């Protein structure tokens, strides 16, 4: 980190680096670590000291079901985002001029609108008399409106749309770092397009794929707005369950215990990924 701070080719002394980094670390401590530690301490001290709140999670199968559903939806959203993002990232990496600007704008444009607006737009599209149902009836696939809203499919579709840019950008960065000579050399050796993709392009883009996958997966684990607006109680995820415990039941200690479980899952998954792939390589760096 200290090597990043240099002036006219000369590294800044460590005290200056520490002073420059102090605001960042203070922000992390007061905006992230302190609230998390406060909640975790609340989960083991209220209403009485012990692990009673965590025991409630284990004893009631409903909470295990919600957690498994959250993991399942996060996996499905990650896979769908990868399948949609990789072709788009390849097109961005190969495009030039106005087409490159257009594709980049299409990826970055969703960041200019709020997640709430994008989720509300999907609720309009998927409602009983919405555009999707109208299109299905027009082409003859259905004879009457089908239930699309307040389903697991609606949650997956909307979350994939919202989170896909987080998959596109790391893959695009990895693809841009692949020298064109590699593909040409494989073609000279007789490899066809499919073989070049699976033996040259995809392995070299794997750091970007894993970086995008972990960003999308971890974000999907704690997603709240989209499941709350497009899902039903049957599609409840852990973030909406935590919100319910806070707003409706005012059970802060139990909600803190749910936060603790989610934190353990996120930390474990992050450490597992970091053991296999270095984070600087995940963000599109070279192998």
pLDDT tens for 71-105 read 999 999 999 999 999 999 999 988 888 888 888 88
pLDDT one-digit tens code per residue, 205-229: 888 898 899 889 989 988 888 888 8
Instruction: Please answer whether residues 149 and 120 qualify as being in contact, where contact means their C-beta atoms are separated by less than 8 angstroms.
Output: no
Q: What pLDDT is attached to residue 216? A: 93
Phi, psi of 248 (to 5 degrees): -95, -40
Q: Which CATH number, 1.10.3720.10, 1.25.50.10, 3.10.450.350, 2.160.10.10, labels domain 51-282?
A: 1.10.3720.10
Q: Which of 114, 10, 70 is nearest to 222 (CA)?
A: 70
Query: pTM for the complete prediction?
Result: 0.83
User: What residue segments make up the domains of the chain, in order of their start?
Assistant: 51-282
In this prediction, residues 112-140 reach a mean pLDDT of 85
What average pLDDT does the segment 39-44 reach? 86
Whose CA is closest to 74, among 146, 155, 145, 187?
155
């Amino acid at each position: 980190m200290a090597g990043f701070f240099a002036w006219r080719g000369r590294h800044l002394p460590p005290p200056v680096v520490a002073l420059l980094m102090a605001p960042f670390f203070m922000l992390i401590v007061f905006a992230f670590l302190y609230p998390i530690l406060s909640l975790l301490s609340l989960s083991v001290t209220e209403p009485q000291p012990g692990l009673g709140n965590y025991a409630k999670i284990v004893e009631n199968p409903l909470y295990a079901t919600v957690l498994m559903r959250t993991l399942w939806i996060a996996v499905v959203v990650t896979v769908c985002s990868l399948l949609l993002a990789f072709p788009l990232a390849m097109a961005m990496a190969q495009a030039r001029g106005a087409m490159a600007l257009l594709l980049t704008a299409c990826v970055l444009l969703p960041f200019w609108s709020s997640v709430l607006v994008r989720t509300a737009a999907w609720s309009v599209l998927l409602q009983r008399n919405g555009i999707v149902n109208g299109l299905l009836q027009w082409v003859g696939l259905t004879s009457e409106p089908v239930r699309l809203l307040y389903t697991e499919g609606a949650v997956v579709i909307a979350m994939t749309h919202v989170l896909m840019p987080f998959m596109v950008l790391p893959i695009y960065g990895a693809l841009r770092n692949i020298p064109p000579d590699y593909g040409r050399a494989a073609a000279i050796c007789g490899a066809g397009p499919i073989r070049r993709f699976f033996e040259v392009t995809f392995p070299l883009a794997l750091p970007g794929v894993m970086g995008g996958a972990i960003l999308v997966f971890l974000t999907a684990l704690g997603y709240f707005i989209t499941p709350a607006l497009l899902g039903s109680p049957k599609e409840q995820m852990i973030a909406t369950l935590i919100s319910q415990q806070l707003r409706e039941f005012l059970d802060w200690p139990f909600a803190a215990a749910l936060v603790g479980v989610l934190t353990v899952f996120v930390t474990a998954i992050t450490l597992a990924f970091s053991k296999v792939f270095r984070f600087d390589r995940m963000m599109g760096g070279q192998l």
